[in-house]
């Protein structure tokens, strides 16, 4: 009964926006499903198992052989999605009483069945399933589940279900292949934790707390080291006899997207660093790095136009030696010596910033203008490398956000708990048009920063000042000014205004300010900093 059970889970996950609800559904799956199907299902959800045995064309041909072509075309036109059309239209056959396949049966059969026999095999399975089961099967075997379950979310669910710390699960996760039987045995208390040995595994990253004013007052400058906080993506590089991997912050394997880095990882070590687009030694804005993210394959043009490198923060393992228990200063020395000795291409050291007092550090922070710098990192000199956020060990001290007064233009309803609230706001700034007039041009969208009271107020205001509706979107009178704060402004060819904001959020509702006095687009443009030119400030 396992494909139907999986189909039920899939359907709930697809329609469930909330993280907590997703976790509850996954916990229920682990608690109720037998091995090996629960592991196979998990791997399929997180896309660690991806099948490409069946192409969409094969599925379409299967349906075409059993249905009227006109009705199939009308149905496809109506439903939109081919897999869903086939799942819904598949004619059920009276008298089929073969049981539905289990997930593991499907996986095994796909591996051993010759290509020519696949259509018959799949049609036989479809005959045993209902429409939900058919959709799950078709999505599974054509490699397109897309249910929004990250590996990280799945591991958090495993931790909640088993009571084991998520870090302990993450450390061995990539050393065990689906269906993860040794992991489930350990989590259920039937066996020791599996030992990944040489397999390249992800070690949970050490994270920083945001630095508040009261923490700053208590900070002993002599006990901390400072570095720039670069605006890229945090990565862990793992290389050795067992293979090479680039892990994202959440433990996803992103090696495939950055072949030039993998090629440069000719060493046996585990490193912590920031992945950045770097041209001629200068770090490009985050928008450039975005071009390289979420790609399974990269072409030569991407590699040339958006060259990436890794700025190294820390050394976790050298050879087989675990350096994580050592204090930061000792690890830093080992890192510097290691970089000196190996000089790996496409990698450099994150520089330490010397400072004698908090005041001096504050000046350094204020002086950093490059868009590629988010602020400062403060790391206690004696901090071991620990998983997760450890109070008082590492601090992140972001630059003060930039701010503009913008006019609310459109609002959209949110999801989940916010599904009845207009909680996503598109805001704009004035720019001149011919004839001396001015028009509003949208510059960004924000859906956070406000309090619950402010959200309620905004929702009412929007409902009372709507001028037109487009599905879930409302256009409003151009009369409300919002103070929007953001971390950086970057040029963007994809936005009508020519500029994109990093992390925009609502700081205040400015009922005191008439819309005509909101900022002009040129005020925002003054914040835009070209990456390379501003880089010298940052050094």
Partner 1 sequence: MPHPETWLRVLPDGLFCEPGGFFIDPVRPVERAVITHGHADHARPGHQAVLATPETLAIMRARMGEGAGVTQQAMRHGEVLQQGEVTIRLVPAGHVLGSAQVVMEWRGSRAVVSGDYKRQADATCLPFEPVPCDVFVTEATFALPVFRHPDPAHEVAKLLKSLALFPERTHVVGCYALGKCQRLITLIRAAGWDRPIHLHGAQQPLCRLYEELDIRLGELRPATVANKAELRGAIVLAPPSAIADRWARRLAEPVTALASGWMRVRQRAKLRGVELPMVISDHADWPDLNRTIDEVGAPEVWVTHGRDDALVHALAGRGIRGRALHLVGLGEDEDEAVAEAPEGTPAA
Q: Specify the residue, 279 or 413, whose C-beta has the smaller distance to partner 1.
A: 413
Q: Specify the residue, 84 or 483, whose C-beta has the smaller distance to partner 1.
A: 84
Q: Is 85 in the site for partner 1 (CB under 8 A)?
A: yes
Question: Minimum Å distance from CB 79 to partner 1?
Answer: 6
Within 117-156, which residues bind partner 1 (CB under 8 A)? 130-131
Q: Specify the residue, 304 or 469, whose C-beta has the smaller distance to partner 1.
A: 469
- Options 86-94, 155-163, 242-250, 518-526: segment touching partner 1 (CB under 8 A): 86-94
Question: 341 exposed, middle or buried (CB, 10 Å; 0-12, 13-18, 19+)?
Answer: exposed
Whether 324 contacts 384, CB under 8 Å: yes
Question: Minimum Å distance from CB 521 to partner 1?
Answer: 23
Q: Specify the residue, 66 or 185, whose C-beta has the smaller distance to partner 1.
A: 66
Of 22, 115, 164, 229, catalytic: 229
- Options 11-19, 223-231, 252-260, 284-292: segment touching partner 1 (CB under 8 A): 11-19
Q: Is 435 in the site for partner 1 (CB under 8 A)?
A: no
Q: Is 360 in the site for partner 1 (CB under 8 A)?
A: no
Binding residue (CB under 8 A) for partner 1 from 67, 150, 290, 360? 67
The 3-state secondary structure of 197-265, one letter per residue: CCCCCCCCCEECEECCHHHHHCCCHHHEEEEEEECCEEEEEEEECCEEEEEECCCCECHHHCHHHHHHC
Question: Minimum Å distance from CB 448 to partner 1?
Answer: 19
Residues 6+ apart with CB under 8 A from 187: 158, 161, 162, 164, 169
Binding residue (CB under 8 A) for partner 1 from 190, 391, 470, 512? 470
Dump the DSSP string for 113-160. Answer: S-GGGHHHHHHHHHHHS-HHHHHHHHHHHHT-------HHHHHHHHHH
- Helix intervals (H) in 246-325: 259-264, 286-290, 300-305
Q: Is 74 in the site for partner 1 (CB under 8 A)?
A: yes
Whether 241 contacts 249, CB under 8 Å: no
Q: Specify the residue, 29 or 202, whose C-beta has the smaller distance to partner 1.
A: 29
Binding residue (CB under 8 A) for partner 1 from 65, 78, 189, 493? 78
Describe the chain by its helix, strand, coil percentages, rounded to 5.
40, 25, 35
Binding residue (CB under 8 A) for partner 1 from 472, 523, 526, 539? 472
Q: Is 417 in the site for partner 1 (CB under 8 A)?
A: yes
Whether 489 contacts 501, CB under 8 Å: yes
Q: Specify the residue, 160 or 168, whose C-beta has the smaller distance to partner 1.
A: 160
Question: Minimum Å distance from CB 433 to partner 1?
Answer: 22
The dihedral built from the CA positions of residue 413, 417, 420 and 422, taken in this order, carries a sign that is negative
Closest CA to 490 of 409, 328, 373: 373
Q: Specify the residue, 127 or 168, whose C-beta has the smaller distance to partner 1.
A: 127
Q: Specify the residue, 91 or 210, whose C-beta has the smaller distance to partner 1.
A: 91
Q: Specify the residue, 136 or 275, whose C-beta has the smaller distance to partner 1.
A: 136
Binding residue (CB under 8 A) for partner 1 from 57, 71, 177, 526? 71
| Start-to-end Cα distance in the chain | 61
Query: Is 115 assigned a catalytic role?
Result: no
Binding residue (CB under 8 A) for partner 1 from 47, 84, 108, 160? 84
CA angle 420, 423, 426 (to 5 degrees): 135
Residue 347's DSSP bridge partners are: 310
Whether 327 contacts 386, CB under 8 Å: no
Binding residue (CB under 8 A) for partner 1 from 386, 473, 491, 509? 473
Whether 283 contacts 232, CB under 8 Å: yes
The 3-state secondary structure of 148-178, one letter per residue: CCCHHHHHHHHHHHHCCCHHHHHHHHCCCCC
The CA distance from 231 to 190, in Å, is 44
Within 13-52, which residues bind partner 1 (CB under 8 A)? 14-17, 21, 24-25, 28
Question: Minimum Å distance from CB 147 to partner 1?
Answer: 12
Question: Minimum Å distance from CB 386 to partner 1?
Answer: 34
How many helices (H) and strands (E) would you count in the chain? 21, 23
- Options 196-204, 297-305, 388-396, 468-476: segment touching partner 1 (CB under 8 A): 468-476
The CA distance from 44 to 174, in Å, is 15
Q: Specify the residue, 69 or 493, whose C-beta has the smaller distance to partner 1.
A: 69
Q: Is 88 in the site for partner 1 (CB under 8 A)?
A: yes
C-beta atoms surrounding 190 within 10 Å: 9
Question: Minimum Å distance from CB 157 to partner 1?
Answer: 13
The CA distance from 385 to 274, in Å, is 16
Dump the DSSP string for 54-65. Answer: S-HHHHHHHHHT
Question: Minimum Å distance from CB 148 to partner 1?
Answer: 12
Whether 488 contacts 398, CB under 8 Å: no
For residues 365 to 404, the per-residue mask of contacts with partner 1, x marking binding by CB under 8 A and - elsewhere, is ----------------------------------------
Q: Is 95 in the site for partner 1 (CB under 8 A)?
A: no
Binding residues (CB under 8 A) for partner 1: these are 8, 11-12, 14-17, 21, 24-25, 28, 67-68, 70-72, 74-75, 78-81, 84-85, 88-89, 91-92, 130-131, 413, 415, 417, 419-420, 468-473
Indicate which residues carry an active-site annotation. 229
């Amino acid at each position: 009964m396992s494909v139907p059970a999986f189909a039920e889970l899939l359907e709930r996950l697809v329609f469930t926006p909330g993280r907590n609800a997703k976790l509850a559904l996954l916990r229920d799956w682990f608690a109720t499903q037998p091995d090996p199907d629960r592991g196979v299902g998990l791997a399929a959800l997180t896309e660690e198992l991806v099948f490409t045995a069946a192409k969409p064309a094969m599925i379409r041909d299967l349906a075409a052989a059993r249905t009227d072509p006109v009705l199939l075309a009308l149905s496809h036109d109506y439903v939109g999605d081919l897999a869903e059309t086939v799942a819904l239209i598949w004619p059920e056959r009276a008298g089929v009483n073969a049981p539905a396949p289990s997930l593991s049966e499907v996986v095994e059969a796909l591996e051993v069945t010759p290509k020519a026999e696949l259509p018959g095999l799949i049609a036989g399975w479809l005959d045993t399933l209902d429409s939900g089961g058919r959709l799950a099967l078709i999505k599974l075997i054509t490699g397109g589940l897309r249910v929004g379950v990250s590996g990280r979310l799945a591991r958090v669910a495993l931790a909640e279900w088993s009571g084991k710390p998520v870090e302990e699960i993450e450390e061995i996760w990539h050393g065990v292949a689906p269906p993860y039987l040794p992991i489930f045995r350990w989590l259920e208390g039937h066996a020791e934790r599996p030992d990944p040995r040489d397999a390249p595994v992800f070690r949970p990253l050490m994270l920083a707390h945001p630095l508040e004013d009261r923490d700053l007052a208590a900070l002993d400058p002599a006990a901390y080291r400072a570095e720039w906080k670069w605006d890229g993506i945090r990565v862990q590089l793992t290389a050795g006899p067992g293979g090479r991997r680039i892990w994202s912050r959440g433990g996803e394997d992103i090696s495939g997207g950055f072949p030039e880095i993998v090629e440069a990882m000719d060493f046996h070590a585990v490193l912590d660093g920031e992945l950045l687009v770097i041209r001629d030694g200068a770090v490009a804005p985050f928008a450039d790095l975005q071009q390289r993210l979420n790609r399974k394959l990269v072409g030569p043009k991407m590699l040339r136009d958006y060259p990436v490198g890794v700025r190294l923060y820390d050394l976790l393992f050298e050879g087989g030696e675990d350096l994580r228990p050592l204090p930061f200063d000792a690890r830093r020395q080992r890192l510097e010596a290691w970089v000196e000795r190996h000089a790996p291409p496409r990698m450099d050291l994150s520089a330490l910033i010397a400072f004698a007092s908090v005041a001096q550090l504050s000046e350094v922070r204020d002086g950093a203008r490059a868009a590629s710098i988010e602020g400062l990192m403060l790391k206690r000199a004696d901090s071991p490398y620990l998983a997760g956020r450890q109070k008082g060990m590492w601090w992140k001290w972001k630059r003060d956000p930039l701010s503009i007064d913008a006019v609310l233009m459109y609002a959209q309803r949110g999801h989940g708990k916010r599904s009845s609230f207009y909680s996503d706001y598109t805001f704009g700034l004035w720019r001149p048009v011919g004839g001396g007039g001015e028009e509003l041009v949208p510059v960004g969208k924000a859906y956070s920063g406000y309090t619950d009271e402010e959200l309620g107020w905004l929702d009412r205001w929007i409902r009372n000042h709507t001028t037109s509706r487009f599905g879930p979107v409302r256009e409003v009178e151009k009369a409300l000014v919002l103070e929007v704060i953001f971390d950086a402004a970057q040029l963007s060819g994809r936005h009508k205004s020519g500029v994109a904001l990093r992390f925009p959020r609502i700081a205040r509702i400015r009922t005191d300010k008439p819309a005509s006095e909101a900022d002009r687009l040129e005020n925002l443009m003054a914040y835009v900093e070209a990456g390379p030119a501003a880089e010298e400030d940052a050094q």
